[in-house]
Amino acid sequence: MRMIVRGARLSHTEGDGPRGLSDVEVGEDGRIARVVPYDDRKEPPATGTLVEARGALLTAPFVEPHIHLDTALTAGEPRPNVSGTLWEGIARWSERKRTLTREDVIARATEVLRWQAAQGVLHVRTHCDVTDPSLTALDALLEVRDRVRGFMTLQIVAFPQEGIVSFPDGEALLREAVARGADVVGAIPHFEDTREDGVASLGIAFAVAEEYGLRVDAHCDEIDDEQSRFVEVLATLALRSGLRERATASHTTAMGSYGGAYSFKLRRLLSRSGINLVSNPFANLNLQGRFDGYPRRRGLTQVKEMLAAGVNVAFGHDDVMDPWNALGTASPLQTALVGLYAAQLTGDAEIATAFSMVTDRAARVLGLGPDEYGITEGAPASFALLPAPTPQEAIRRQVRPSHVVSHGTLLAETPPTPTRLTWPGEGPTEVDFSRSHPS
């Protein structure tokens, strides 16, 4: 046996599973050999790495379903986004894009992947701007994907930031990116010059995906315009092409402006289509509503309603210290916290759902099967041990995993950092932020 995690509470946010403590045994092949009930009278094995969980929460790795590693860590370069709009962000990035080098992209992307690994994120879908005739960022990210293969999954979306139809040679660049090895086909229909161009761009994205046997993940309706209705086009293409759950609509912020009658029709279509939605609360709480007076719209996916309609919805971080979001550490638990407030998922079961939106539900977006993801026998021994008894407590206290394990190898450790408080009139004590929480 290579490793045993003793006395862990397995995370089952939305399904059934053992409620007591479990031991997870990791075989020499880096896969989970056995999951058995914890018995405190039993001696731990003499060989292999021993991790005493003491009731801590063991979760399958966090999954980042939507990030931009090519733009990450470029905030303020060459100038800040003063208006705070999506549009000025694209203009600032367009300037920065001209100065990209292979080394620059590799260094920034790797830095963020290191942050993610340290926080238990082992599966990442990154968008990569391919409206750049040199495809510098794409080639660099393909190289990074190879370097992390074996301990992290990196899916690269060929993302036409400045359009497929409206950008010179947009379709040719998209096709070239896929030919060079991008994993997923992107689009940005609301940024195209006309409604018709937007529809055509989605048609091209689906055609390329079908040709290469790939998934689709489009930036879709990221605008406070109730007339922006490309998600219905994407869902219909997903239905008719048979791509269904292999298609994802990201951002979908115009949904925050749709009226009741159209929303009702849309929910029915989306649940039938099987597509995934990725809501990015950090970026869109920042970017949306910038053209409104008051009342000011939130500009977010109808997360709660879509979940109730049976649509798979995940939360993504999106931008990390770039022209669209100056802050961020790529923390999935920050994303879940911001997301649950933005979408008002504040009931106890809803907080657990928010946790699943950065784990299980995000894994479905990436298409990770049971042989690749989950705390089950035969799956890769990849997981994060969180110093909290429940997903709700993990989110509330914004904990960092004490241990991150990938394929049976310890990747990251964060020891506890107690805070000592000397309350006036009392001696020094260690502050305990934990509280029992209904679950």
Give the residues lining the site for Fe ion (CB under 5 A): 318
Chain Cα centroid distance, residue 196: 30
**Which distant-in-sequence residues (6+ apart) come within 8 Å of 171 by Cβ?**
164, 165, 204
The two tokens of residue 312 are 């798979």
Which is nearer to Fe ion, 30 or 189 (by Cβ)?
189
Whole-angstrom Cα distance, residue 399 to residue 401? 6
Strand residues in 14-99 grouped as ranges (E) = 21-26, 32-37, 49-52, 57-59, 62-67
| Distance in Å, CB of 318 to Fe ion, minimum | 5
| Distance in Å, CB of 251 to Fe ion, minimum | 6
Which is nearer to Fe ion, 25 or 318 (by Cβ)?
318
Which is nearer to Fe ion, 70 or 318 (by Cβ)?
318
Whole-angstrom Cα distance, residue 243 to residue 159? 18
Residues 439 and 352: beta-carbon distance below 8 Å: yes
Whole-angstrom Cα distance, residue 26 to residue 45? 12
The two tokens of residue 325 are 């979001």
The two tokens of residue 425 are 């009139």
Residue nearest to Fe ion (CB): 318
> Which residues share a beta bridge with 277?
249, 313
Whole-angstrom Cα distance, residue 123 to residue 105? 19
Residues 315 and 67: beta-carbon distance below 8 Å: no
Which is nearer to Fe ion, 33 or 185 (by Cβ)?
185
Whole-angstrom Cα distance, residue 321 to residue 413? 25
| Distance in Å, CB of 72 to Fe ion, minimum | 11
Going by their DSSP bridges, the two strands 428-430 and 420-422 should be labelled as antiparallel
Whole-angstrom Cα distance, residue 376 to residue 35? 7
> Which residues share a beta bridge with 430?
420
Going by their DSSP bridges, the two strands 57-59 and 62-67 should be labelled as unpaired
Return the residue matching tokens 């964060």.
414
Which is nearer to Fe ion, 307 or 320 (by Cβ)?
320
**Which distant-in-sequence residues (6+ apart) come within 8 Å of 283 by Cβ?**
251, 318, 319, 324, 325
The two tokens of residue 145 are 């994907």
Which is nearer to Fe ion, 64 or 318 (by Cβ)?
318
Residues 39 and 20: beta-carbon distance below 8 Å: no
The two tokens of residue 391 are 């997903």
| Distance in Å, CB of 141 to Fe ion, minimum | 15
Return the residue matching tokens 């080098």.
101
| Distance in Å, CB of 100 to Fe ion, minimum | 18
Which is nearer to Fe ion, 1 or 326 (by Cβ)?
326
Whole-angstrom Cα distance, residue 412 to residue 299? 36
| Distance in Å, CB of 359 to Fe ion, minimum | 20
Instruction: Give the residue numbers marked as catalytic.
Output: 222
| Distance in Å, CB of 295 to Fe ion, minimum | 26
Which is nearer to Fe ion, 171 or 318 (by Cβ)?
318
Residues 173 and 160: beta-carbon distance below 8 Å: yes
| Distance in Å, CB of 330 to Fe ion, minimum | 14
Which is nearer to Fe ion, 224 or 318 (by Cβ)?
318
| Distance in Å, CB of 155 to Fe ion, minimum | 14
